[in-house]
Amino acid sequence: EKYIEEPRHIEIQIAGDQYGKVCHLSERDCSIQRRHQKLIEEAPSPFVTEELRKEMGEAAIKAGTAIQYEGVGTVEFLVDKHRNFYFMEMNTRIQVEHPVTEEVINHDLIMEQIKLAAGVPITGMNYLPQGHSMECRINAEDPFNNFLPWPGKIETLHTPGGHGIRVDSHIYAGYQIPSNYDSMIAKLIVWANTREEAIKKMHRALTEYTIEGVRTTIPLHLKILEDEQFQKGNFTTKFMEDFDIN
Question: Tens digits of per-residue pLDDT, 9-20?
Answer: 999 999 999 999
CA distance 51 to 72: 23
**Cα–Cα distance for residue pair 25/75, rounded to 1 Å:** 11
Encode pLDDT of 62-72 as tens digits.
999 999 999 99
Is 191 a residue whose pLDDT tops 80?
yes
Cα–Cα distance between 113 and 16 in angstroms, integer?
Answer: 9
Q: Give the chain's mean pLDDT.
A: 96
Which positions ≥6 away from 68 have C-beta within 8 Å?
16, 20
Question: pLDDT value at position 2?
Answer: 82
Q: In angstroms, how far is CA 208 from the centroid of its own chain?
A: 21
More confident residue, 190 or 244: 190
Does the pTM of the predicted model rise above 0.75?
yes
Enumerate the active-site residues. Answer: 93
pLDDT score recorded for residue 35? 87
